[in-house]
Amino acid sequence: PIVGGEQTGELEYGAIVALLTSQSGLCTGTVVTPRLILTAAHCIVGLPDLGGVTVYYGNDLQTDMRVDAVGYGSHPDFDPKGHEDIYDYVYVLLGTDFSPPDGFMLPITDQDEWDEAMQKGSVVTVVGFGEDPDATNPVTSLGVKRKVDTTITKFSAEGFEFFAGGNGHDSCQGDSGGPALIQLSNGSLRLA
């Protein structure tokens, strides 16, 4: 779950969606263009067919706010049995356009944005649909969009991956593939 956070407001983080799969269960993704979602490869890779991915919009898993994915693809170097997460991403394609009410969530666009925002101690906002460990029954809390602010704690030796969370502010089951958002000095949010 999002640990130590709170539910998102109405239409807040509209580009963050839930992905329900026939294999891995619930994951979270980010809509970056009208038909393209980014999420974690371990959520999608290995599905027997494309009918196994349903995308849910809104703040919870409402049945009237869903659409089936029409395609997906992962980085060719992703190894589901490996220990390196750098290639653990996948794109999911939608068959119809979707426009989030508060706009698309764009990834960091260049080295200058990375250098500005991605520092040890920088605040990141983690958003996801995972279970709430503080709920009476955490499993029944799955599927509600939550957010929490935390900080970048370190980078991998190569500098390609960052680590964030801990101290009761983190992500968990169902939040895989969800975004870590960073705010630039001009106020723009970026998918880190």
The dihedral through the CA atoms of 118, 11, 93, 23 has a sign that is positive
Residue with the bigger pLDDT between 11 and 119: it is 119
Residue 50 has pLDDT above 90, yes or no: no
Confidence category of residue 177, pLDDT binned at 50, 70, 90:
confident
Residue-wise pLDDT tens digits, 52-82: 788 999 888 877 888 889 998 888 888 887 7
Residue-wise pLDDT tens digits, 75-105: 888 888 776 677 888 999 999 999 998 899 9
d(CA 145, CA 101): 15
Residue with the bigger pLDDT between 108 and 165: it is 108
DSSP 8: P
**Of 88, 14, 15, 2, the residue nearest 46 (C-alpha):** 88
What does the pLDDT read at residue 38? 94
What does the pLDDT read at residue 1? 47
Average pLDDT over residues 29-34: 95
Residue-wise pLDDT tens digits, 117-136: 999 999 999 898 887 667 67
DSSP alpha helix (H) spans, the chain: 41-44, 111-117
Sole residue written with tokens 């939040």: 175
Average pLDDT over residues 20-30: 83
**Of 90, 89, 103, the residue nearest 34 (C-alpha):** 103
Q: Which amino acid is at 67?
A: V
Q: What CA dihedral angle connects 92, 141, 130 and 169, to 10 degrees?
A: 150
